[in-house]
Structure 1
Amino acid sequence: MISYRPELDPALMAPVAEREELREVVRALLQKYAGTEQVRAAAASPAGYSEELWRRLNAELEIGRLAMAEELGGHGYGMAEVAVVLEECGAALLPEPVLGSAVLGCQALAAADQPAGVRDLLDAALDGDLIVTVSLGGADLTAGRRGSDWVVEGRRERVLHAAAADLVVVDVETAEGPALFALRADDLTIAPRTTIDPTRRQADVAAVGAPARCVVGPERFARVAARLGVLRDVAVAAEHTGIVGELLDRTVEYVGQREQFGRAIGSFQAIKHRLADVLVDRERSRSAARYAAVAFDAAPASAALPAAIAASVCADAVVRTAHETVQLHGGIGFTWEHFAHDYVRRALGDEGLFGASRASRAQIAELVGI
């Protein structure tokens, strides 16, 4: 149990000009290369994402380097800056592996016991040339020694972007305790899964005597795994925040144009009340997600609670907003071809992949000792 009160300097939540400039740059790039039809085409491609846009994100924005320490080849910013990028990626429903590789994958490699031992992997991941995915939370993989090398046996289900990844970082049971290992995708059997959300591809991974490289040993595993879990919650909350804001903007635009009985439907009191509820969800999401991001940067040891709160608030908000968007677009919104259903699929798919809000609320209760 931890005792926690929001004690961060309120100035940390104030608008920062650099972050807003970053937001405008990311938004402009995605408006040009990640419109609805472009995203759908990328998600349906063999890779599951646009390789051209992925190159641009790494070459022009260097997304993997934003929150990486300067001594490891990064720019030394924090999660508050990465969250800006993730909000815009969420708003566009980007299928590129920003979350899995540029955020979680790079940070997992950077946490290595001996960074020099994985520097070749980290450098390639920071450039975007090596796509990394991270899967934590299972006792279905084991590792043992074969001479001086490690080999991994077992199976892991529902690994994000596994079919497109070059490297899979997973938690593995060893004789000394759990550890974090990196496995080359070429040494694994990967079976893609059919999921509700085509922009978040998943696959099952099987290892049979697969050579592996130990990234984090049993001594540091618990701390590193906990930090990666908090980072994942903060990152997904940021994506959900971007989705809620995007759907509110698009719905407000629609109800201001759609007329019934000679009036824009947005002028009807019932519509105004429903949009007001979505606005409240947007503001709650932004507050929770952005606070969690600055908490992760300023006080990482105490970031678990704000991250769990953000995960819960934003997961609820994104599901409600996606369904309201369908409803408020009326008959056209009920067609599967409509853009709103892409967001419904992302919201429901993320519940299955990362956990529903009730799991986060249970975590909150545990953290505060309820």
Structure 2
Amino acid sequence: MAPVAEREELRQVVRALLEKEAGHEAVRAAADSSGGWSPDLWQRLNAELEIGRLAVPEGLGGHGYGFAELGVVLEECGAALLPEPVLGSAVLGCQALAAADDPASVADLREPALAGDLVVAVSVGGEEVVADRAADGGWTVSGLRTRVLDGATADVLVIDAAAADGPLLLAVRREDLEVTSRTTIDLTRRQADVRMASVPARLVVGPARFAEVAERLRLVADAAVAAEHAGIVGELLDQVVGHVTQREQFGRPIGSFQAIKHRLADVLVDRERARSASRYAMAALDAGGADAALAVAVASAVCADAVVRTAHETVQLHGGIGFTWEHRAHYYLRRALGDEGLFGGSRGQRARVADLVGV
């Protein structure tokens, strides 16, 4: 996709904030904190950039921009390796609440979520959760859902559940859940197991629209992760180029060696492929239509491969220091491998591409 002046201006604003407030040491400190992310930075992301409102229609309290603009923010957040719940709440949580059958019925959740005052986790798919009618005509939900992104810190969980009339999307308050934090390879993206035992739930989407909304949320999640991965690939290329132009061997920078140049050229190709694929996928989501699913699947496969390859190359090209577990490169490698386990790797996306084109 060709650069757009307004989006590049947005990129510079986001990058300036993150360079000032989200350096690697700040990210490590936030990830190691009890909550796993910085409330101060989260507040600034929402107060100054209003990231949750960006791709939500104006009639629902958003700014009415598209996923192409949101993709700019996600690339920069991926590059900085933010542990804040940008993907889980500002993207998926806000989109789930904005898709409600009756927008007024969840307005008390949607508005604070858009403002960043309420953190929303979303879990669609996975172990079966069952919904039953409550005595007051509402809903209760029971079951176990594992590996919920931001499950331990979210104020509200939006989850799919099986009901007698068909699947539903329901919202459950954090205080009604039994949450067990998980130990994961990626320190910047926490997960939890969530158990529910006939806890009260609020209807977000009913059976009539469930399949449409669930598929849309899946596409948004895949496209958002691809955008983050594209941002990571670009950041890692900059990091490794900076290292090999300064590190000397035999009296010359190691970046001048032909073997290193070829490896860097491969990373550059991966960066351009990832950027093109992810940005096109975001534009396809904005346009709608049947092409969106294919564009997102292609972007997810391309970006997943690119981020894993680039993370491994970054570790290796940093030499002995790059192989230490505490080095910055390993944080990116852990994010790449953690995302592969949480969202699925490129193999599954390539299988989806094959299905979509009838192969």
Report the TM-score range of the alignment, normalised by the length of the smaller protein.
Answer: over 0.9
Q: Confirm or deny: 8 A CA contact 2:142 2:198 kept in the other structure.
A: yes
Question: Corresponding residue for 2:276?
Answer: 287
Q: Return the letter of the residue paired with 1:124.
A: P
Q: Which of 110, 124, 128 is the equivalent residue of 1:122?
A: 110
The aligned runs of 1:1-370 (5 Å cut-off) are 13-147=1-135, 148-370=137-359
Q: Could you tell me the percent identity over the aligned residues?
A: 71
Q: Confirm or deny: 8 A CA contact 2:127 2:144 kept in the other structure.
A: no
Question: Corresponding residue for 1:10?
Answer: none
Q: How big is the shift at 1:83?
A: 0.3
Q: Distance in 2 between matches of 1:357 and 1:61?
A: 32
Gaps of 5+ in 1: 1-12
Secondary structure of the structure 2 residue equivalent to 1:200: coil
Q: How big is the shift at 1:62?
A: 0.2
Q: Distance in 2 between matches of 1:144 and 1:276?
A: 56
**TM-score, normalization: structure 2?**
0.99
Deviations 1:176-215, CA, capped at 9 Å, x for gaps: 1111010001100000000000100000000011100010
Secondary structure of the structure 2 residue equivalent to 1:341: helix
Q: Distance in 2 between matches of 1:270 and 1:79?
A: 39
Q: How big is the shift at 1:300?
A: 4.5
Q: Distance in 2 between matches of 1:204 and 1:112?
A: 25
Gaps of 5+ in 2: none
Q: How big is the shift at 1:314?
A: 0.2
Structural RMSD (CA)? 0.7
Q: Confirm or deny: 8 A CA contact 2:127 2:146 kept in the other structure.
A: no
Secondary structure of the structure 1 residue equivalent to 2:62: coil
Q: Return the letter of the residue paired with 2:348.
A: A
| Runs of 4 or more above 3 Å deviation | none
Secondary structure of the structure 2 residue equivalent to 1:194: coil
Q: Distance in 2 between matches of 1:300 and 1:258?
A: 49
Q: How big is the shift at 1:139?
A: 4.4
Q: Distance in 2 between matches of 1:317 and 1:188?
A: 37
Secondary structure of the structure 2 residue equivalent to 1:205: strand
